[in-house]
């Protein structure tokens, strides 16, 4: 089931980055919904056409230098046009000294006023990465995610079809487990889906007849990784006599839409005697060669 943005509050941001709260404490439970940040230089100069009040506002040397050119009444008027009640929080960088009007407006409008010794550049780099990761649209998919030859391969199919057994054989052959049973997927940008496992079952694989296996205990710490970009989907299904499967290896993979991104997908029919792990390895190499047009050497095992 796909879902939208996660709930992220200003208080979580304060705890994560150790911001000092100067004013507006009552607004610390405000929700942050946008990962873009705003340096309101143009707005302070009077250009308000593209004001985005739901973004976190950041004030560095440029913004503070601009606002301090005005006397008290003009300063307060300009800040009042920018520091609207919808603003989730205001961050002052470099621990700079701020005019009293900031504290007055932050308190009146319940806007958390935060300060950090970091520069604006450092703050933008750290904060945008964190916000994109936290606010990325996400979904859960039943399946197994394995790093095969450096590619993120998600194996899907009905329960009992053999996903875990195929993954176990791949891990035994030197590939890496990322997630089993449930794959948590986040859309981290316009092209990439990042998969991981719920913390409570990370590095664990359930195989009928053997129970729940910790692959790092069985095969070592290098047999698993915490997250991986999803490059390819292998869907397992029971062999259907009336279905026509690719016999020449010339069909291009179909695609599956996940969070608005198309992921290449092939279907492998399952019946006794077929080595699914080997078929998945070959499918990965085949897809690699198709995309690289034979100009790049196929990848090798991770371990």
Q: Both 125 and 187 in a single domain?
A: no
Q: Both 169 and 91 in a single domain?
A: no
Q: Both 147 and 286 in a single domain?
A: yes
Q: Is 144 among the domain residues? A: yes
Instruction: Say how many CA atoms lie within 13 Å of 155 toward its Cβ.
Output: 33
How many Cβ atoms sit within 10 Å of the Cβ of residue 211? 8
Among residues 171, 192, 200, the alpha carbon closest in space to that of 181 is found at 200
CATH of the domain at 188: 3.40.50.300
Structural domain for 67, as ranges:
2-135
Last residue of a domain, one of 135, 163, 194: 135
pLDDT band at 117 (very low <50, low <70, confident <90, very high): very high
Q: Both 69 and 155 in a single domain?
A: no
Q: Is 298 among the domain residues? A: no
The whole-number pLDDT of residue 284 equals 87
The whole-number pLDDT of residue 48 equals 85
Higher pLDDT, 103 or 208: 103
Q: Both 206 and 120 in a single domain?
A: no
Q: Both 157 and 82 in a single domain?
A: no
pLDDT band at 4 (very low <50, low <70, confident <90, very high): very low
CATH of the domain at 108: 3.40.1390.20
Q: Both 121 and 162 in a single domain?
A: no
pLDDT band at 2 (very low <50, low <70, confident <90, very high): very low
Is the Cβ–Cβ distance between 8 and 32 less than 8 Å?
yes
Is 104 annotated as ligand-binding? no
- The residues facing 138 across adjacent strands are 3, 186
Measure the CA–CA gap between 57 and 105, rounded to whole angstroms.
14
Q: Both 45 and 177 in a single domain?
A: no
Last residue of a domain, one of 109, 135, 161: 135
Is 191 annotated as ligand-binding? no
Q: Both 121 and 179 in a single domain?
A: no
* Residues belonging to the active site: 163, 181, 247
pTM of the full predicted structure?
0.70
Q: Both 81 and 65 in a single domain?
A: yes
Q: Both 159 and 110 in a single domain?
A: no
Q: Is 97 among the domain residues? A: yes
The whole-number pLDDT of residue 296 equals 44
The whole-number pLDDT of residue 292 equals 59
How many Cβ atoms sit within 10 Å of the Cβ of residue 201? 14
Q: Is 154 among the domain residues? A: yes
Q: Both 180 and 125 in a single domain?
A: no
Mean pLDDT, all residues of the chain: 88
pLDDT tens track for 184-203: 999 988 889 999 999 999 99
Among residues 143, 270, 277, 274, the alpha carbon closest in space to that of 205 is found at 143
Total structural domains within the chain: 2
pLDDT tens track for 229-252: 999 999 998 887 777 666 655 566
Q: Which two tokens stand for residue 87?
A: 């603003």
Q: Is 303 among the domain residues? A: no
């Amino acid at each position: 089931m796909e879902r939208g943005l996660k709930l992220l509050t200003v208080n979580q941001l304060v705890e994560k980055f150790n911001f000092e709260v100067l004013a507006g404490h009552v607004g610390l439970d405000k929700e942050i919904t946008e990962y873009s940040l705003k340096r309101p230089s143009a707005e302070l100069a009077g250009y308000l056409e593209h004001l985005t009040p739901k973004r976190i506002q950041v004030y560095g040397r440029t913004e503070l230098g601009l606002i301090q050119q005005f006397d008290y009444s003009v300063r307060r008027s300009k800040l009042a046009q920018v520091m609207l009640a919808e603003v989730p929080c205001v961050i002052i960088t470099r621990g700079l000294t701020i005019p009293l009007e900031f504290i007055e407006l932050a308190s009146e409008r319940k806007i958390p006023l935060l300060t950090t010794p970091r520069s604006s550049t450092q703050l933008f780099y750290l904060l945008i990465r964190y916000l994109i990761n936290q606010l990325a649209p996400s979904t859960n998919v039943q399946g197994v995610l394995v790093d095969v030859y450096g590619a993120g391969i998600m194996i899907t199919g009905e329960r009992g079809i053999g996903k875990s057994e195929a993954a176990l054989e791949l891990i035994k052959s030197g590939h890496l487990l990322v997630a089993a049973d449930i794959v948590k997927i986040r859309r981290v940008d316009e092209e990439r889906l990042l998969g991981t496992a719920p913390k409570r079952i990370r590095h664990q694989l359930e195989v009928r007849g053997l129970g729940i296996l910790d692959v790092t205990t069985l095969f070592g710490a290098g047999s698993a990784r915490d997250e991986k970009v999803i490059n390819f989907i292998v869907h397992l299904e029971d062999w259907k006599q009336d279905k026509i499967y690719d016999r020449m290896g010339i069909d291009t993979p179909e695609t599956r839409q996940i969070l608005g991104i198309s992921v290449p997908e092939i279907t492998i029919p399952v019946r006794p005697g077929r080595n699914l792990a080997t078929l998945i390895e070959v499918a990965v190499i085949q897809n690699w060669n198709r995309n690289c047009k034979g100009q790049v050497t196929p990848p090798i095992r991770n371990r």
